[in-house]
Structure 1
Amino acid sequence: MEKGISTTVAIVIAIVIGIVVGAGILYAMTPQAPGQTVTVTTGTTTITTTTASPTAPGKLTMGVVMWWHHDEGSWSPSHAKAVQAVAGKYGIAYTWIEETGIQNVESVIEQAASTYNIVYIETDEFMEAALNVAKRHPNVYFIQEWEAGPIADSGLTIPNNMICLNAANVHQPDFIAGAVAAKLTKTNKLGLIIAIPGPRVNRTVANPWRDGAHYVNPAITVTRVDMNSYSDPAKARDTIASFHEAGIDIVFVNQDDFAATLEAAVRGMYTFQEYIDMVQYYPNTLIGCVIWDWTKPLDKAVQAITTGTWQNLRSQTAEIYLTLEDGSLGIPTWGNMVTPEVIEFAEQLKQDIISGKVVVPENTEWVD
């Protein structure tokens, strides 16, 4: 009798263990909810995988090649926000491939192309490497950031498996930012902090900011400091301090951190920043943020992949623009210091640019 009970108990235990193990295996094979991440660091490249809820078996996967981290600064988070929104919509599993250096970028993109259906590249500084890899992987879709003007003027040949998300029109909201600064300055002295100097940033940021200010008041002076770095918090704070001593009261910050705005807050100055909207966190210092929202153009590209209309899209264009019209470029939120009259002025200027009544110059040379 005791032996029979022992045998029965053993059988029951074995069944229970089998059920638990089976459930564990089933759980491991089932895609998990969005937001769960696994991070692995190899060398200088950090890889973080996030799985979005799938909509069908054989779901698409995306490798996102980033120069920095998806949740630090403002540039990479602007892309991460778009990827998360679009991946969630279409059920795409995506992987952050972070801290990609220019020295190893082609090998990183090559590995991504060998692993994922879609490779998203967040900076056109990686364009040459991306083009090389895209030609070797014709069955992989490449989505490439671009801002250096129309692709047709670049001299580049874009393969059929690549499309560019083009932010070249960012000079338009930067012009509006300069005009608003001219409306708000009390000293007629504005400051400009540039990350990496060159013809492109002159066309998209520096000259439009100054031209916008002069559109309102030609007597305004603009003092420029080149940082030669995308992020240098100590130098940014020192620059703001120097600007303050010179009587400058509003500064446009072309940097991938918020150190300048934090220092400006201490000194009672105002700033503009770029890429993502942070006004809610600094409403008494930030006049506004010129956003680069990649969601709509990325959605258009991914929709073409998922609906099988990619070649039709590519036969029409090699680029999808961010625009003032659709809100992917603009200044969506205003700080507490901006009056209703100035907001109305900014909105009218925006409409005048869209209609062509006001044409923002595109000058690549900076003249002091």
Structure 2
Amino acid sequence: MRRVTRLATVAIASTALALSATACGKTSDSGSDSKEASAAIAYDIGGRGDQSFNDAAYAGLAKAEKDLDIKGNDQEPNEGESDADKVQRLTGLARAGNNPVIGVGFAYAPAIKKVAPKFPKTTFGIIDDTSVTGKNIANMVFNEEQGSYLAGVAAAKATKTNKVGFIGGVEVPLIKKFEAGFAQGVKDTNPKVQVRTQYLTQPPNFDGFSKPDLGKAAAQGQLDKGADVIYHAAGLAGSGSIEAAATDGKWAIGVDSDQYNQEGLAKYKAKILTSVTKDVSDAVYNLIKSVKDGKPQSGEVRYGLDKDGVGLSDSNPEYQKMTDLIAAVEKAKADIIAGKIKVKTAP
């Protein structure tokens, strides 16, 4: 099995990342006129430091800075911001000459729809969304349900109580893909295992991606009802579920990045069984490189299990000792890639 440690091995640049953004002026494209190649990412809810989704995006930007000799810019979201705020942010980044400009997360779709046509020479990337399209838009998407299926297999093999939990940050279609794959993987492996599902918030409240106390409380509730493996797809809020499971001596399954190797979760790493990984880092890097090479990506760019775009990490030494679990996961992976297993994208 391929061990996913990319995020942990990317050297994070120590230089402060500068952002030049303006809220007024001409809307003509200046991306191709920049004297210094630069790229920008605008973070999703939770921002940098979430030990998950946003940090993976930053790792791709940092790698591009190092390998491609480009200047990287990044910008944090504001709490409770509107689509208008995102439009202003992306407009400022494009006017400053950044190319590409990447919105980290589906929440940027409305803003990119408005901004991209005004800067036709700038490539705009959006992660986890295909609803907004254009000649200068790259839609970087993943088969999250496939990685989650493998997590379900692992959970079904690791549980001793035949009760496992899934915690979704916000009940939106994207997170339901995680739930669907996980539940299917569990049931296909052992129909006797119960899957308890809980979402932290409902849209338009997106606190379920940013507040660890919500994840902690939800996980504790599942633990109190007998769950001994808990998988989260909740961004920064999911760190709370990992804390709760680890403190209770139960297994946690991380998401997006190999959370076993995340510095901010080091205290709980012994109980992070595995993580469902999304190669957001490479997706960001590949888009930046395509622009630098003069052949910018556009349209749907999909990352699935067949190309290690999603997967399951095996960094925890305790995981590596579970030979039956590993064999089951490897077989499921091969069957998914061969088309023998069709993973659902909705519960």
TM-score class, shorter-chain normalisation, is: 0.7 to 0.9
What does 1:228-267 correspond to in 2, within 5 Å? 228=201, 229-257=208-236, 258-267=239-248
What does 1:165-244 correspond to in 2, within 5 Å? 165-167=140-142, 169-202=143-176, 204-228=177-201, 229-244=208-223
One-letter amino acid matched to 1:198 = V
Offset, 1:283 = 4.0
**Aligned position for 1:95:** 73
One-letter amino acid matched to 1:309 = K
Q: Is the 8 A contact 1:191 1:250 kept in 2?
A: yes
**Aligned position for 1:131:** 113
Q: Is the 8 A contact 2:140 2:302 kept in 1?
A: yes
2:270 is paired with a residue of what secondary structure? Answer: coil
**Aligned position for 1:355:** 338
1:302 is paired with a residue of what secondary structure? Answer: helix
What does 1:1-368 correspond to in 2, within 5 Å? 35-37=14-16, 58-67=35-44, 68-100=46-78, 101-103=81-83, 104-115=85-96, 116-147=98-129, 151=130, 154=131, 156=132, 158-167=133-142, 169-202=143-176, 204-228=177-201, 229-257=208-236, 258-280=239-261, 281=266, 282-310=268-296, 314=298, 318-338=299-319, 339-363=322-346, 366=347
Offset, 1:236 = 2.3
Q: Is the 8 A contact 1:70 1:77 kept in 2?
A: yes
Offset, 1:40 = 7.9
Q: Is the 8 A contact 1:176 1:212 kept in 2?
A: yes
One-letter amino acid matched to 1:132 = K
Separation in 2, partners of 1:234, 1:300:
35
Separation in 2, partners of 1:329, 1:119:
23
Change (3 A) 1:38 1:216: closer
Task: Please give the TM-score of this superposition, normalised by the length of structure 1.
Answer: 0.76
**What stretches of structure 2 of length at least 5 have no aligned partner?**
1-11, 22-33, 202-207
One-letter amino acid matched to 1:247 = G
Separation in 1, partners of 2:51, 2:244:
16
Offset, 1:309 = 2.4
One-letter amino acid matched to 1:137 = F
1:362 is paired with a residue of what secondary structure? Answer: coil
Offset, 1:294 = 2.1
One-letter amino acid matched to 2:57 = H
Q: Is the 8 A contact 1:265 1:285 kept in 2?
A: yes
Separation in 2, partners of 1:145, 1:40:
21
Change (3 A) 1:206 1:88: same
Question: Matched residue pairs, number?
Answer: 304
Separation in 1, partners of 2:62, 2:16:
13
Change (3 A) 1:294 1:40: closer
Offset, 1:64 = 1.3
Offset, 1:199 = 3.0
Task: Please give the TM-score of this superposition, normalised by the length of structure 2.
Answer: 0.81
**Higher RCO (CA-CA < 8 Å; seq separation 6+):** 2
Separation in 2, partners of 1:72, 1:332:
18
1:37 is paired with a residue of what secondary structure? Answer: coil
Q: Is the 8 A contact 1:82 1:293 kept in 2?
A: no
RMSD: 2.3
Change (3 A) 1:41 1:274: farther
Change (3 A) 1:64 1:249: same
Separation in 1, partners of 2:20, 2:253:
34
Offset, 1:225 = 1.6
Separation in 2, partners of 1:334, 1:82:
20
One-letter amino acid matched to 2:109 = M
Offset, 1:197 = 0.8
Offset, 1:38 = 5.3
Q: Is the 8 A contact 1:60 1:118 kept in 2?
A: no
1:227 is paired with a residue of what secondary structure? Answer: strand
Q: Is the 8 A contact 1:172 1:208 kept in 2?
A: yes
4+ residue runs over 6 A deviation = 39-42
